[in-house]
Structure 1
């Protein structure tokens, strides 16, 4: 009797395969399963997901466009590994763009916008309580984004989203290294409360919130590097 082949643990839906494959690989990169500098082998990935190399190549192109991998001669696709100054640059870019768009958005926020932000924040607070890093990463962006949509600045929001894709793994890493869940939860709740009051001081508080996260991450990375030194 012909036995049914066991399902791979990385099986995904076949519709829009390259997009689904890129999303699965993206999550594995963000969760740290694939480390910075680690090569991604097309043949090995195709075997894991039980698909041909063609959708893998397309998924790699999407990941490279998002800044998560880079193609190198003779090495193929490699997970990006940023030096500390470039990591901080990403957080500083976030602070510039997000504070600018928040200033535009603040006066245009409706109760419906704020209700949506409240709902996302409650989900995020639940993820903090569960220490669900993957869920925190996704909901952190959704919460920030919900505060900016009222500005209707499509190009700025697209730029911010692209930067957030790159900083997502570092935000997750910061939470893992520093256990700063309570601090992040408190600061996000304060940001929303200031927005509900239409208090313009929220813009500078957002700047501090983002840059502080970057500096805390770099401090944690230096501490870990020192602890691992021979």
Structure 2
């Protein structure tokens, strides 16, 4: 499990993928904020790469909704409106409930142990740069049992798109405790193989996050 992404990710895969991972982490952590310019000459020098794979990485992040190309400005960190956040959470609720429903009867004891371990790390005082990775790892550990990798990838992209704002919201309004209680309730329902309860808590968990984040952005 990746506990934190405060440092640059290891250089695995293609150069463009590595650059995308590095920039994605900075955007999610809030180090690059909405509408911040992503100047290719500066980034290429900072990362020690050429502009060709850098542009490929920026195009990849554009497809994920994290980067926009603006006339006369070039690449910038894509902002999200309250309406877009609401739409993303509507999509997340639809996709994640399907993933959990398909997964819950296939979740192994080892998956439950891993998910519990992630929650215990969060309870132990993970900071906000760690929280994003840990939050995703908890949900993904449960959803992977569905054996639907395309669905999981779609969910992760939506998750990453709002996480940069959610981390700020949780940090500023001290809402992380409520979110964590819901995580434990989801895990308990999965342990009991209670599909209806697990989906009910997950829907409430995502709907609450959507409403709070929309209010925060508004």
Give the Cα separation in 2 of the matches to 1:20 and 1:158. 17
Gap regions ≥5 residues in structure 1:
1-9, 223-230
Give the Cα separation in 2 of the matches to 1:11 and 1:184. 28
Give the Cα separation in 1 of the matches to 2:119 and 2:193. 18
For this pair of structures, how many residues does the alignment match?
A: 210
| 1:210 counterpart = 2:217 | no
User: 1:59 maps to which residue?
Assistant: 57
Find the partner of 1:187 among 182, 189, 201: 182
Give the Cα separation in 1 of the matches to 2:206 and 2:192. 21
| 1:38 counterpart = 2:36 | yes
Which structure would you say has the larger Rg? Answer: 1
Give the Cα separation in 1 of the matches to 2:212 and 2:41. 38
Find the partner of 2:27 among 26, 29, 35: 29
Question: What TM-score, normalized by structure 1, do the two folds share?
Answer: 0.83
Find the partner of 1:103 among 101, 104, 111: 101
Aligned 8 A contact 2:9 2:21 in 1 = no
Report the aligned-residue RMSD: 2.0
Mark the CA change 1:37 to 1:150 in structure 2 (over 3 Å): closer, same or farther.
same
Give the Cα separation in 2 of the matches to 1:85 and 1:154. 28
Q: Which moved more, 1:105-114 or 1:189-198?
A: 105-114
User: 2:159 maps to which residue?
Assistant: 164
SS state of the match for residue 147, structure 1?
helix
User: 1:6 maps to which residue?
Assistant: none
